[in-house]
């Protein structure tokens, strides 16, 4: 079933209302630390919403090229991508492309081309968020820095071909390239909206972690920290960006007046909890996907 833009719009504004409520009632999250692990329930719900959003983003752009474009199979592809990010960088890209072709039927070249549209949408949403929030906190260095990434995001969108690996260009015909470019551009507004949804979800998760650790931090500061992390996601030199993500988040946190070390711990804690919950949810998704495929 084709994803309707108004459904995702509703989903987006629903999360926007949540983030406003979190901002106005942030003290409630601090109280959750007194209830031991009760706060893990809403946190786990956010992780599941995040996984579902990744699945919607995949369906929007890869759906038509998959053997079975159901939301479950797209979530399965998203989960494989998540774990693939923790492989060495070159192996991660290759393994994700091979998995997409083997399990979902998405040709490797098609996967790479359309993935660049996803990367571009992440860069644009992250740079727009950081450029919007940085002036509110008087962090002008990040404000200027954001425009550089915004230019890169638009540049990728304008000329995808120059961002393709050389081996992909060799067998990608002109007709195929323009077809994929058309598909990517048509799904781009939806991609931007879904990346915005993911931005909100991850910001709320970080607010909860900071609050549980007893740190007073505004939602705007957290959005700026997460935006900076997202902007450097694809420049990681370690599997999964281990250490890079935490260090950048800590540096931005220090710029807004918070503790580098506490921010480092909060981001690490968020990463570990996210992976643990995703790890336990994955077998359910994979089992359901295999059952659907066998029945089909």
- What pLDDT was estimated at residue 109? 81
- What pLDDT was estimated at residue 232? 72
- What pLDDT was estimated at residue 11? 53
State the CB neighbour count (10 A cutoff) for residue 15.
Answer: 21
**For the whole model, what pTM was predicted?**
0.81
Q: Is the dihedral of CA 165, 170, 174, 176 positive or negative?
A: negative
Q: What is the pLDDT of residues 116-154, one digit of tens each?
A: 888 888 889 999 999 999 998 888 888 888 888 888 888
Q: What is the pLDDT of residues 80-111, one digit of tens each?
A: 877 777 765 555 566 677 778 887 888 888 88
- Of the pLDDT bands very low, low, confident and very high (cuts 50, 70, 90), residue 1 is very low
Q: Rounded distance, CA 213 to CA 233, Å? A: 25
Do you know the residue count of the chain? Answer: 296
Read off the pLDDT of each residue in 69-78 and give the average, rounded to a whole number. Answer: 84
Q: What is the pLDDT of residues 261-272, one digit of tens each?
A: 888 888 888 988
Provide DSSP, 252-293: HHHHTTS-HHHHHHHHHHHHHHHHHHHHHHHHHHHHHHHHHH
Q: To the nearest 10°, report the CA torsion of 141, 25, 40, 236.
A: -10
């Amino acid at each position: 079933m084709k994803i309707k833009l108004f459904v995702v719009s509703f989903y987006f504004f629903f999360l926007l209302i949540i983030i406003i409520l979190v901002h106005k009632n942030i003290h409630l999250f601090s109280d959750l630390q007194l209830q031991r692990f009760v706060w893990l329930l809403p946190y786990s719900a956010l992780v599941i919403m995040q996984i579902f959003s990744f699945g919607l983003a995949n369906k929007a752009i890869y759906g038509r090229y998959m053997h079975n474009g159901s939301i479950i199979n797209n979530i399965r592809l998203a989960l494989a991508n998540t774990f693939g990010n923790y492989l060495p960088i070159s192996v991660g890209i290759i393994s994700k492309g091979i998995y997409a072709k083997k399990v979902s039927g998405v040709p490797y070249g098609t996967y790479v081309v359309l993935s660049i549209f996803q990367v571009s949408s992440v860069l644009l949403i992250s740079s727009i968020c950081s450029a919007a929030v940085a002036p509110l906190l008087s962090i002008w260095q990040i404000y200027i820095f954001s425009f550089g990434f915004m230019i890169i995001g638009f540049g990728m969108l304008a000329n995808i071909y120059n961002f393709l690996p050389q081996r992909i260009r060799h067998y990608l015909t002109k007709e195929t390239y323009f077809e994929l470019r058309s598909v990517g551009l048509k799904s781009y507004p939806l991609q931007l909206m879904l990346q915005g949804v993911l931005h909100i979800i991850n910001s709320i998760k970080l607010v909860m972690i900071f609050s549980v650790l007893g740190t007073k931090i505004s939602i705007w500061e957290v959005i700026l920290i997460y935006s900076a992390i997202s902007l450097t996601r694809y420049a990681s030199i370690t599997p999964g960006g281990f250490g890079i993500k935490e260090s950048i988040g800590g540096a931005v946190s220090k710029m807004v007046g918070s503790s580098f070390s506490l921010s480092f711990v909060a981001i690490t804690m968020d990463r570990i909890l996210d992976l643990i919950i995703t790890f336990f949810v994955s077998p359910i998704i994979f089992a359901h996907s295999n059952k659907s495929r066998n029945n089909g």
